[in-house]
């Protein structure tokens, strides 16, 4: 599964061209990914949070791993 590494603002990820270019070709629901990332990072509001998405293009499934926030 391809890993997509992102740095998002905790609880405030927004759609943008970078993430759309990476997820779009895989057919993953971008709105759901953003919503799930925002939920997963909601405890880190105001911080930049590294997030790794493991995407399975066959099933359109994904997992979100939240790493330690950067100050």
DSSP characters over 15-57: --HHHHHHHGGGT--HHHHHHHHHHHTGGGBTSEEEEEEEEET
Task: For residue 68, give the DSSP letter.
Answer: P
Per-residue pLDDT reduced to its tens digit, 19-59: 889 888 988 999 999 999 999 999 999 999 999 999 998 99
Q: Do the domain assignments include residue 52?
A: yes
Residue 1 pLDDT level (bands cut at 50, 70, 90): low
Q: Which residues contact 41 (CB under 8 A, 6 or more apart)?
A: 8, 10, 11, 13, 49, 51, 66
**pLDDT value of position 24:** 87
Give me the domain span that covers residue 45.
Answer: 3-66
Q: Do the domain assignments include residue 26?
A: yes
CATH of the domain at 42: 3.30.1550.10
**pLDDT value of position 69:** 81
Chain-centroid distance of CA 16 in Å reads 11
The count of structural domains within the chain is: 1
Q: Among 8-12, 51-55, 58-62, 67-71, whose mean pLDDT is lowest?
A: 67-71
**pLDDT value of position 11:** 96
């Amino acid at each position: 599964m391809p890993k997509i590494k992102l740095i998002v603002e905790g609880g405030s990820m927004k759609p943008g061209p970078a993430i759309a270019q990476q997820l779009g070709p895989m057919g993953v629901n971008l709105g759901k990914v953003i919503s799930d990332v925002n939920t997963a990072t909601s405890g880190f509001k105001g911080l930049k949070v590294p997030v790794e998405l493991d995407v399975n293009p066959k099933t359109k499934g994904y997992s979100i791993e939240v790493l330690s926030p950067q100050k």
